[in-house]
Structure 1
Amino acid sequence: MIGAALFWITPFNPWQAGLIALLINLLGFAGGIVMSAIKRDRGVKDWGHMIEGHGGMLDRLDSVCFAAPIFFHLVRYWWT
């Protein structure tokens, strides 16, 4: 709902902004889950001491792994 409410700062219509915000939100969650599962399976430890109170530097980028490429391709090939 916030994504649709903030449509005025994007080049999208309110319904487009809401759909894209929902999609990016879901993909961010999926990216965090999938990347955490991969790291757990491979035994990779994060650098948790770099940002205290967080899972580490790699956890800051997990959601971006899925969301950013999809957002780019949606905007590049669908919206234009």
Structure 2
Amino acid sequence: MTFTPEDLDHIAAHLAATGEIDARYSYMGEGAATWDRFVTWQEGDAVPNILHSTLSMLHDAHHDLVARLPGPVRVVDLGPGQVA
């Protein structure tokens, strides 16, 4: 996807006003299909890549940390959000 200067101005204004990316610029339509092809390619690739590394790290973290806990686990998502 290529952005025009007007698109970039709109993205910046919307982000400043709401703290979110406008949905029209997300992975929808062909962007979603392209991302799916990319991830599927990474998943099946025999060469180590960032997806393989991430999945390996999550597997290790599960076995080293989560599997040892005796009960339910609470997860706190501290992901990006709007700054007040």
TM-score by length of structure 2 reads: 0.30
Query: Larger helix proportion, structure 1 or 2?
Result: 1
Query: Quick check: which has more Rg, 1 or 2?
Result: 2
TM-score by length of structure 1 reads: 0.31
